[in-house]
Amino acid sequence: MENLKLDIEALKDGPYAVKGVVTITTSDGTTKEYTNPYLCRCGASKNKPFCDGSHRKVGFTE
């Protein structure tokens, strides 16, 4: 496997902002490449592992 560099930033009161291309396998077994995805870290997204903006509705702070 090639050693690649990724940057991941935890946005204030929001998701992880991933800078780069990542391969994600979701719970239904689907594997797909994503460029610069925003990943949920509040647990409220209805589209996990991706952020769908629900962190604002639930008042996530971190």
Q: By CB neighbour count within 10 A (0-12 exposed, 13-18 middle, 19+ buried), where does 49 fall?
A: middle
CB nearer to ligand FES: give 18 or 51.
51
What's the alpha-carbon Rg for the chain, to the nearest Å?
A: 12
Site for ligand FES in 1-60 (CB under 6 A): 14-15, 40-42, 44-45, 51-55
Between 1 and 18, name the residue whose CB sits nearer to ligand FES. Answer: 18
Q: Which helix (H) or strand (E) holds 57?
A: helix 54-57
Q: What is the contact surface with ligand FES in residues (CB under 6 A)?
A: 14-15, 40-42, 44-45, 51-55
